[in-house]
Amino acid sequence: LEFYEQLLSFTLYKLYTDVGLAYPPKRMDLKSTDGSKVNLKTVKEMQAVALEKLYGKEAQDKKDISEEFMNTPEYTQMIQREEAQEKIRNLFKNNVFFLNREVPRYSLEF
C-alpha cells in the first residue's frame, strides 16, 4: 500500500509540474471572509483563473509569432498539421459507445 501511495504521489507531482502548477496544490478554503460559504459563481471564477493559467501559455505563444514567419510555407504546413491533430483529438467527441458485459472496460477507458 505504501508503494502505491508513493507512486500516486510521484505521478501527481509529475503531472502538476508538467503543466506548470505547484504540487501539492494549496488547499482552498471555500468560505468567504465573512464566514459564509462560497457560492457557485465564485467557484466558477476560481476555475476560470486556473484554466487561464493552464491555457494562457498556449495563447501567449500564438501571439508571439512574427508576421514574417506567418507568410512562410513552413507556417502553413504547421497550421495544417495542428488542424489535422485537432480533428483526430475530436474524432470520438460526440459519439457514445455501448459495451457488452463481456468486454473488459478498463482496457478501453481513456
| pLDDT tens, position by position, 11-46 | 988 888 888 878 777 765 556 555 556 666 677 777
Q: What is the pLDDT of residue 61?
A: 59
Which residues, including other chains, have CB under 8 Å from residue 32's CB and lie 6 or more apart? 38, 42
Angle value at C-alpha 51, between 49 and 53, nearest 5 degrees: 70
The full set of domain ranges for the chain reads 1-28, 31-107
Q: Of all residues in the chain, what percent are helix, strand and coil, respectively (each to 5)?
A: 60, 0, 40
- Kindly tell me if the per-residue pLDDT of 66 is higher than 80: no
Q: Is the overall model pTM greater than 0.85, yes or no?
A: no
